[in-house]
Structure 1
Amino acid sequence: MAAALATCDMPAVIEGVRSARGWSQGELAQALTYSQSWVSRVVNGQQSLTVSQVHDLARRLEIPLDLLRFGGAGSPEASGAMRGAGALDGAREPDDVGTRGFGLGAREEPPGTGRNPSRRRDPARSVTMAPSGITGGRPPVGYEGHHGINETTAPALRSITGGQRRMDATSPARHLLPGAVAHVHLAEQMLGNARGTAFHTELSAAASEASGFAAWLSADLGDMGSARMHYRTAVVRARQAGMRLLDVYMLGSLAAFEIDVAEDPELGLGLVREAEHVLGPTAHPTARAWLACVGALAHAGLGDHVSAARSIRRAEREVDSPDNAQPPWPWVFAFDQAKVAGYRALVGVRLRSPHDARAAFAEAVAPAPRNVKQSALLKVELASAHAEAGDVDEAFRLAQEALTTGVRFDSERVVGRVRSFRRRYRGPRAHCVEDLDDRLSSLVTGIPISG
């Protein structure tokens, strides 16, 4: 390793660190936040590196730059490692690592122009010792203080996310989103600074929560692309944190988004199945019940009555478990029969079973949700059930109330759900229908309703 550092043999340095830390090449790629194919080419001597890329790799592996010798006596190894200094830089892919498991493949970076295919790595040269100060993933003494990372960093970031979430109940998403996105960038910066320290796991979790909230706000504003991007990052960071329940929570949240917002129940069901695989059969009942309910929505969206009912029954069994008293983090409230009834109602709406849906909504009645936007979304669902049952006046009264909330909070998600309800309605054109049409038209034209 000393010889590799002295000659800037980056393939040997990277391979030595990987071996010393017991990482697979995929784990190494995650640690470096480059794609695995790019890392493989570097390790095999097939990818030229620019000076800035060497600096970046050294920083991510916590290798002090003063240990690297870029021209050490003009050695062939040094010139080989740095050959092609004019190669394309900026090949890093920070947010696509580890997403293949749910159909989100990593992009390929542009290759360097100075590739040297003749210089392949000899397996016999694998180094099993890391340089002093980076063994076992621990940083050099004083590194944490240098980057301002300590035991208070992750709790501080999480408290900011928590405060933003509380404001979501009473604030428009468009007011919160710029700050939430800035907070994601801050969390990512702190996470990069903490690489190789004892605080990296906690900061990965904090970054995951920050991205998850930014995804929620983006979905509320109807920005599907940004919502998916933030949800993907949230899943990746949860996996890097190695926190199974957080991983499942973010995967399930992405599944719910695809099912309920993007209206792609097939993709959502695939994500639910992956989350169930990650969760395992012995996890906390709250997590199992919640995933079963999200899966029931996916089955209902696909028109599968039998599977939807089976998933709801499984959720009901889980919530009755004596182990379901205290919810596990990151869940805040235990999943109870009232919550399962709410999902049963949503399933009834999607399966066009209005009487079952209305009965389930009545069973799910509880204190009004603190988040008025969530309450508005439920009103639209209940409106759909009333419309299917022929109770037009009540259906459109609920839709009007939901629309008022959507306009008040600039929630494109709520307003869009009301529009969708109106498009699906095929009943008689009563006065209540015309009133809703007038309000929806006014939102588009900006012309106030007369009289």
Structure 2
Amino acid sequence: MSQPDVVLPPDLWTRPRIAAALATCDMATVIEGVREARGWSQGDLARAVDYSQSWVSRVVNGQQSLTVSQVQDLARRLAIPLHLIRFADDPHRGGLDQKGVDDTRRRDFGRVVAAGALVTTVSPSHPPARDGAPHPVNETTAPALRSITGGQRRMDATSSARHLLPSAVAHVHLSEQMLAHSRGTPFFTELSAAASEASGFAAWLHADQGDMGSARMHYRTAVVRARQAGMRLLDVYMLGSLAAFEIDTAEDPELGLGLVREAEHVLGPAAHPTARAWLNCVAALAHAGTGDHSAAAQALSRADREVTRPGNADPPWPWVFAFDEAKVAGYRALVGVRLSQPHDARAAFDEAFGAASPSVKQSAVLQVELARAHAEAGDVDEAFRLAQEALTTGILFGSERVIGRVRTFRRRYRGPRARCVDALDDRLTSLMTGLPAVG
């Protein structure tokens, strides 16, 4: 007899068989695990996902390959956390259709998440403190860990990610150790949140250095820890950050949009305007990446409404600064670039830069986007001047993210040759060879 209202066990996703299946996108095993946990028949499962029973039978028997959109649809209908799913090496075992995902990226995802599984479940085997010895965690532990993360974030504005990474990764390990010691204590929730923040920052640094695999692993851990803490806004923040990474850095807007939808589900309809404005902007960027002009415009309109709400002036943790009109303008500019609307993009960039002072590295990223808008508008000299400035910042801070954006800008430029184009080519060549630029 079916049990459609049975709640999934909270540890289902960390059980070895299901965790391994999630890490390789073995949807046959994941779906069958959900069916068993709910006590459903295969017919109940087919009705729940709104597919035919014969199709469902082929999926659970590993005879039906799935597209990315089908995986996302099944995850939504079965309440499978999308951020835990990654692409499989073997597309014939209930994984993704070969046409949907690049093989190299699929292998990368599988390796990274398999490695991430090592840090996403707190081990209960740590021995308790010896009689008479102080317990390794107390009420000061979580604030101390969060203070360290805060200090590292402040240093990111003026320091190379390469220099910050060793200490940030060590801090993640320390946070995980303290979290393991906190199991069964009143400090477990706070330490889960502290570990989430530490992993989120490590992910940001890895992304800046171009290490996509490590960035994904740490973002995934940050989401798991936030959910473990039971802090809805932190959960949304880390999911949204992972979505933004997939959209903007990994250039996978479809996956990013799926993560945004999961974050929207977690956030709920009655949430703080800062969170809603930010998430709508991330959604707009995803829609722009898929070429959906209308959906992107609607998401930006929703963000505009949210930032005018009175409560937005007092942002909730983990947001530090209010998400204001200038920040929405920045996203509008990025959307304009991706939708090949250079004049709209340049106007939005003027609004964003005129009212806000982003960090040096973030300014460089925006400069490259603005360079794209100028190039599309035919202003080649200004476009390459901005690209040169961004490249200087990228070299100064050792930011592979910025340098990579400049390379991508140059690769996509199809306009006429000019002295400014040759000058950028010389610098990029010099950067690769280590030889002085010509002239």
Same-fold call, TM cutoff 0.5: yes
Does residue 306 of structure 2 align to residue 323 of structure 1? no
Q: Tell me if structure 1 keeps the 8 A contact 2:129–2:135.
A: no
Cα gap change, 1:197/1:392 in structure 2, threshold over 3 Å: closer, same or farther? Answer: same
Q: Tell me if structure 2 keeps the 8 A contact 1:214–1:230.
A: yes
Q: 1:348 aligns with which of 336, 342, 346?
A: 336
SS at match of 1:150: coil
Match of residue 374 from structure 1: 362
Q: Which runs of 5+ in 1 are unaligned?
A: 1-23, 39-98, 108-138
Measure the CA separation in 2 of the matches of 1:210 and 1:250.
11
Q: 2:81 aligns with which of 53, 76, 101?
A: 101
Alignment of 1:202-241 (within 5 A): 202-241=190-229
Cα gap change, 1:100/1:178 in structure 2, threshold over 3 Å: closer, same or farther? Answer: farther
Aligned AA (2:405): R
Match of residue 16 from structure 2: 35
SS at match of 2:423: helix
Q: Which runs of 5+ in 2 are unaligned?
A: 1-6, 20-78, 88-126
Match of residue 384 from structure 2: 396
Render the CA deviation track for 1:360-406: whole Å, top value 9, x for unaligned: 11122335635210010010011111111011100000000000000
* Matched residues, number: 338
C-alpha RMSD of matched pairs (Å): 2.6
Measure the CA separation in 2 of the matches of 1:356 and 1:106.
36
Aligned AA (1:184): V
Cα gap change, 1:36/1:197 in structure 2, threshold over 3 Å: closer, same or farther? Answer: farther
SS at match of 2:372: helix
Measure the CA separation in 2 of the matches of 1:372 and 1:241.
33
Q: 2:9 aligns with which of 22, 26, 51?
A: 26
TM (normalized to structure 2)? 0.73
Match of residue 90 from structure 1: none
Aligned AA (1:388): E
Match of residue 117 from structure 1: none
Compute the displacement of 1:324 (Å): 1.4
Structure that is richer in helix per residue: 2
Cα gap change, 1:198/1:358 in structure 2, threshold over 3 Å: closer, same or farther? Answer: same
Does residue 126 of structure 2 align to residue 171 of structure 1? no
Does residue 274 of structure 2 align to residue 275 of structure 1? no
Percent identity between matched residues is 76
Alignment of 1:278-357 (within 5 A): 278-357=266-345
Compute the displacement of 1:27 (Å): 3.1
Match of residue 411 from structure 1: 399
Compute the displacement of 1:148 (Å): 1.6
Measure the CA separation in 1 of the matches of 2:427 and 2:234.
41
SS at match of 1:366: helix
Match of residue 435 from structure 1: 423
Cα gap change, 1:104/1:435 in structure 2, threshold over 3 Å: closer, same or farther? Answer: same
Q: Tell me if structure 2 keeps the 8 A contact 1:35–1:106.
A: no
Measure the CA separation in 1 of the matches of 2:398 and 2:427.
15
Aligned AA (1:207): A
Compute the displacement of 1:209 (Å): 0.1
Measure the CA separation in 2 of the matches of 1:408 and 1:431.
24
Measure the CA separation in 1 of the matches of 2:214 and 2:245.
12
Measure the CA separation in 2 of the matches of 1:304 and 1:25.
35
TM (normalized to structure 1)? 0.71
